[in-house]
Amino acid sequence: MTGSIEKLEKEYGIHARWRAFPLHTDTPEQGRSLEDLFKKKGIPVDIDKMMNQLKTAAAKLGLAMGDRKMTYNSRLAQEVGLWAETKGRGHKFHMEAFKAYFVKGENIAQKSVLLSLIESSCLDPEEGEYIIDKREFSNAVDSDWELSKKAGITAVPTVRLGLDTLVGAQSYETLKKLVDKYSNRQS
């Protein structure tokens, strides 16, 4: 989301593959307040304090973060994201979805929001609407979810390379060290 992945792809001639992850799958289409989400999980959380900590951590990585109070079901956005990958616009779509969700607080479960993201990602809106309506990438998301379960992935973002796994947003320098480790290139 900071451009680090794209920079590494260009610098090393590699391709990062985005995978879908089952994040709060029981969230209804209209969303759920973060307070309710954590209460349901039995986790006492001061939402304002947590969001301030997230914003501080995000700022250190150059990420924008809004004052989010809601969580939304990302399943359909994940389906659209996998379609966008097949069109060579995956990174762009993921960036747009990140901004919509984390910065603007938009409900990415809504078709109208997804269609707007499709357009801002320079994808064909008619084809995108078909993908949404027919759920063309539902099986692909199911496969990714199963893969993440088998791999023991429990949080996003998670970066896996070789035998190493990085969990959480990482700096460019940290990601570069990981790629260097597997490319036999040392800084």
Read off the pLDDT of residues 90-120 as tens digits, 9 standing for 90 and up: 999 999 999 999 999 999 999 999 999 999 9
Task: Answer yes or no: is pLDDT of 1 > 70.
Answer: no
pLDDT tens, residue by residue, 54-65: 899 888 888 889
Residue type, 108: I
Task: Answer yes or no: is pLDDT of 186 > 70.
Answer: no
Question: Which DSSP category does 9 fall into?
Answer: H
Residue bearing tokens 């966008």 = 84
- Non-local (6+) Cβ contacts of 100 within 8 A are 106, 108, 113, 116, 117
- Non-local (6+) Cβ contacts of 81 within 8 A are 18, 20, 90, 93, 94, 97
Report the percentage of the chain scoring pLDDT > 70: 97
Q: How far is CA 128 from the centre of its chain?
A: 19
Task: Answer yes or no: is pLDDT of 187 > 60.
Answer: no
Using CA atoms in the order 170, 138, 144, 171, what is the torsion angle rounded to 10 degrees? -10
The pLDDT, as a whole number, for residue 79 is 98
The pLDDT, as a whole number, for residue 63 is 85
The pLDDT, as a whole number, for residue 84 is 98
pTM confidence score: 0.89
pLDDT tens, residue by residue, 108-163: 999 999 999 999 999 999 999 999 999 999 999 999 999 999 999 999 899 999 99
Tokens standing for residue 44: 């006492």
Sorted by where each starts, the structural domains of the chain and their CATH numbers stand as 4-152 (3.40.30.10)
Beta bridge partners of residue 21, listed in sequence order: none
Count of C-beta atoms within a 10 Å radius of residue 55: 17
Mean pLDDT of 24-53: 93
